[in-house]
């Protein structure tokens, strides 16, 4: 039996489970809200073209109105000024889009502190228990924030002092960008950076440093709690938008069971 036939058989018999990490995409999908004077993306919208009627008696279809960075989506390196000469979303290497993934779970810390920032020590402690970060793989940062993702106000968690969502400390972002073999960072929040990332040095360090290093971001993931700490295979499927800085994506993980 070929390797692909073995894989299909394992999926069919549920020895390998397909876990959907993607948030549903609709008009209520939370989107990032930047303060003035910056311009924000639009909410996702469907515009009906026809639905089995006089506009098209046998077919139903829609136009899609959305931003590149809406819902579960990929940040390509050229999304940020430091990565402007890097890949657009259509040019991302396929080995970046199909790659091993590991899960670092900081949900207990985030439950006590929504502004929690992942540290180098956190990652090194994880490595001490599970082994090194995967060469050419993804680090998925579990915070439990996906529990809020159906409700924009809870998801963005804004008060008079700003947005309070977890992220990555600036020195950790630099270390992940420059000294680890990962190809990208995935999170459950609206963006890879913390809600108060503008206050860090540099501001928005995941964007500034990780994208600047030619690596990718992946946001608004769900179901990371269903993945093991190591051993999953991630499959990221963005639209190949030529010149695009990102794209909504269907994100799946293959997990060996039993």
Cβ atoms of 195 and 148 within 8 Å: the answer is no
pLDDT at 224: 98
Query: Which pLDDT does position 235 carry in this prediction?
Result: 98
SS (H, E, C) the chain: CCHHHHHHHHHHCCCEEEEECECCCCCCCCCCCCCCCCCCCCCCEEEEEEEEECCEEEEEEEEEECCCCCCCEEECHHHCHHHCCCCCHHHCCHHHHEEEEEEEECHHHHHHCCCCEECHHHHHHHHHHHCCCCCCCEEEEECCHHHHCCCHHHHHCEECCEECCCEECHHHHHHHHHHCCCCEEEECCCCCCCCCHHHCCCCCHHHHHHHCCCCEEEECECCHHHCCCCCEEEEEEECCCCCCCEEEEEEEEEEECC
- Per-residue pLDDT at 1 exceeds 90: no
pLDDT at 183 over 80: yes
Q: What is the pLDDT of residue 221?
A: 98
pLDDT at 65 over 90: yes
Model confidence at 36, pLDDT cuts 50, 70, 90, reads confident
At 100-118, the pLDDT tens digits run: 999 999 999 999 999 999 9
Active site residue 79: yes
Catalytic residue among 65, 69, 73, 79: 79
| For residue 35, pLDDT beyond 90 | no
Query: What is the reported pTM?
Result: 0.96
């Amino acid at each position: 039996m070929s390797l692909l036939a073995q894989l299909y058989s394992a999926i069919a018999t549920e020895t390998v489970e397909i876990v959907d990490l993607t948030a549903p995409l609709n008009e209520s999908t939370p989107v990032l809200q930047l303060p003035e004077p910056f311009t924000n993306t639009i909410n996702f919208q469907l515009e009906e073209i026809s639905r089995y009627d006089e506009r098209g008696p046998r077919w139903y279809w829609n136009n899609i109105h959305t931003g590149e960075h809406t819902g579960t989506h990929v940040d390509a390196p050229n999304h940020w000024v430091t990565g402007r000469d890097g890949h657009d979303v259509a040019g991302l290497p396929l080995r970046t889009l199909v790659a091993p993934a590991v899960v670092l779970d900081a949900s207990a810390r985030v439950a006590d502190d929504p502004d929690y920032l992942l540290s180098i020590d956190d990652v090194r402690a994880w490595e001490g228990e599970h082994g090194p970060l995967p060469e050419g793989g993804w680090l998925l940062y579990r915070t439990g924030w996906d529990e809020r993702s159906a409700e924009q106000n809870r998801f963005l968690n804004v008060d008079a002092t700003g947005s309070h969502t977890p992220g990555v400390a600036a020195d950790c972002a630099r270390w992940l960008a420059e000294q680890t073999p990962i190809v990208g960072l995935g999170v459950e929040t609206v963006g890879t950076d913390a809600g108060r990332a503008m206050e860090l040095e540099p501001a928005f360090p995941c964007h500034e440093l990780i994208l600047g290093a030619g690596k990718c971001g992946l946001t608004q993931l769900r179901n990371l709690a269903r993945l093991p700490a190591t051993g999953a295979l991630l499959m990221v499927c963005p639209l190949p938008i030529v010149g695009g800085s990102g794209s909504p994506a269907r994100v799946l993980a293959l997990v060996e069971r039993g």
